[in-house]
Structure 1
């Protein structure tokens, strides 16, 4: 949630790019366009849902991963990468499932101002969004896009936390960096953000489009086929630049916060 406070405007721009069918929008031009047409504070639209998502999705995946990593560690030595990948995949699936309802609300609130006035949902905040979806579309709609979201949760956690642990280990063992310094945490988390953005982009774009849709009858394959036909295969990496610009700082801030929690023995 700490990281989200700083990166939310970039996350909003990423969602807008992923749901847009236009090819002429870049990150900077889109941010200026949002501010110009919707006001300065519009770049923090849907912040409550974004914070709720971090409080559910990220808490679950990081907590499960750290616990599984503790269970598979022997004699204080770090587990092999293959075991870390297995633990991260389980943690990512748990996080994706726990965080799916807040993710649906998050994407809808961030994209609401981009819709015509007649199609806007106008959720007041995250809890209002959850209640409105349940009343108007049924509880099952909170788990719309659960398939791509589980895939993304697995890919994100595996690519992010494992690449962070592996990068940190390589920096310490090969370059002699101090495992307790901020520079080591910064370097390892920056590499982790780069890996995670690239690995997760296709699933992230599909997840965003499914959750933003009001139609419950469309399959993942039909949305994928239509997007490839009308936009080309490159749509899977739509918004990669803002995703990395957002995920890079978000990953850095997240792992620095986690390292501080670990240092003070708070929940870690």
Structure 2
């Protein structure tokens, strides 16, 4: 969980630039930021909004990092144990590792989706001083609870393979006792 929080902290500025660059073409011409590349985005944000703007959305990003790490690791171990005990999967095969990590990716995507949507809304805004709780309450009121799972499928398409590769690699490290 600590590693997830540290990752969220370190990656926050680049996450802001990434989100803004992805959303730029959806904005009216006069509101588009037109960052040339990530470094240009970091420079423009710092110059136009101040260094503190690079920490925008940090709270939800830290929560997301903690939730991501915890939900992946815990659910992977639970699914692996469940498959071994109830379906007689061999705990050493890649089939077991693949299946467990696929389910862990589903859990992690679902658990992290609300924090992901919230941090994206905060980071893509400029100049808004509304709190994360305020944004959350307004979105639930105007869009319903389902707004928290907007973009779930693309998030899983990205996170699913990442989770699978991570845990298959981890199991190989375990197998050969590398770093253990």
The answer to whether TM tops 0.5 is: yes
Q: Which residues in structure 2 correspond to 1:90-109 (within 5 Å)?
A: 90-109=2-21
**Equivalent residue, structure 2, for 1:206:** 118
Gaps of 5+ in 2: none
**Equivalent residue, structure 2, for 1:182:** 94
TM-score, normalized by length of structure 1? 0.60
Superimposed CA distance per residue, residues 142-174 of structure 1 (whole angstroms, 9 cap, x where no aligned partner): 110111111111111111122113322333454
Q: Would you say 1:114 and 2:26 are equivalent positions?
A: yes
Counterpart CA distance in 2 for 1:211 and 1:185 is: 35
Asked if the contact 1:144–1:216 (Cα under 8 Å) also holds between the matched residues in 2, the reply is: no
More displaced stretch, 139-148 vs 220-229: 220-229
**Equivalent residue, structure 1, for 2:109:** 197
Q: Would you say 1:255 and 2:141 are equivalent positions?
A: no
**Equivalent residue, structure 2, for 1:152:** 64
Q: Which residues in structure 2 correspond to 1:51-130 (within 5 Å)?
A: 89-130=1-42
User: Residues 260 and 216 from structure 1, CA distance in 2 versus in 1: closer, same or farther, beyond 3 angstroms?
Assistant: farther
C-alpha RMSD over aligned residues: 2.3
Superimposed CA distance per residue, residues 96-118 of structure 1 (whole angstroms, 9 cap, x where no aligned partner): 21221121112112222222222
TM-score, normalized by length of structure 2? 0.85
Gaps of 5+ in 1: 1-88
1:229 Cα deviation after fit: 2.4
Counterpart CA distance in 2 for 1:114 and 1:157 is: 31
Superimposed CA distance per residue, residues 176-222 of structure 1 (whole angstroms, 9 cap, x where no aligned partner): 43444321221011110111122112111111100000124221122
